[in-house]
Copies of this chain bind each other. A is one copy, B any other.
Amino acid sequence: MTVKQLTLPELTEACVRLGIGGVGLWREPVQAYGVDAAAKVVREAGLTVTSLCRGGFLTAIDAAERARALADNRAAIDEAVTLGTDTLILVSGGLPAGSRDLVAARERIADALSVLAPHAADRGVRLAIEPLHPMYASDRCVVSTLTQALDLAERFPSSQVGVGVDTYHIWWDDTAPSAVTRAGAAGRIHAFQLADWTTPLPAGVLNGRGQIGDGAIDLRAWRDLVDAAGYEGAIEVELFNDGLWARDGVEVLRETVIRFVEHVVPKK
């Protein structure tokens, strides 16, 4: 999504040229390209699919809507299998229309996970609950902190459900560092994503994630923390940014690699 202006072949070619060994994919562009075809392009480029975004939206009260959500998540699990990734990232969902009950919404997520997690595990896919910034609590994700995500995940085996750590969502939270350590000790950090925090936020607050190094987050400190917690998986850079999307995608990818080296790779 960081360079959604690129086609999948453009993306994989640029990744290979820049020495990027893996790529996290989103479902919409993969579906538009064709899941099998996408899997082939990435595989033939020699890239790993680090994760698939996203399943989730599991907070519906209405039975038909809940059934649709479960079916959609099963489809996402199938797509992950086809793409050859072991990680499906979940955005849990917001409050159903007319509801003001965050606690009940979080409980419905746990209910849905009890159906989905064993099924995903049977297919070789683990689920990563990603807490989203509290500014998305009403309309996208009632799971707002890493501690909440971990509390949900810990109801299931770590091989089935873990958490996604995304700096954009948790950087402000002074309880997040200890939650990272706790998640790492339990083998539950299933994804690690970077974006920087820049202001002013754009209307709708969706597409204002900052390029690495442009914002307020000490990204190297978070990387060190996640490293120290025992995480050995991929580090994804996930930027939703209208400004970056308006630029040449290969140039943005190149810039992102440079910024990653400057701001994230350990200095020695």
Binding site for B on A (CB under 8 A): 95, 100-103, 106, 133-135, 137-139, 142, 144-145, 148, 171-174, 197, 199-205, 215-218, 221
Determine how close the nearest CB of chain B comes to the CB of A145; give it in whole angstroms: 8
Among candidates B101, B102, B203, residue contacting A200 with C-beta atoms closer than 8 Å: B203
A selection of 5 A-B contacts at a CB cut-off of 8 Å is A100-B218, A134-B135, A137-B172, A144-B173, A145-B174
B203 & A134 in contact (Cβ 8 Å cutoff): no
The residue that A138 contacts in the complex, of B102, B134, B139, B215, with Cβ under 8 A, is: B215
With A200-B204, A201-B205 known, 5 other A-B pairs at CB within 8 A are A95-B216, A100-B217, A100-B218, A137-B171, A138-B199
Is the Cβ of A135 less than 8 Å from the Cβ of B100? no
- Complex Cα distance A172/B102, Å? 8
Q: Chain B contacts of A144 at CB under 8 A? A: 172-173
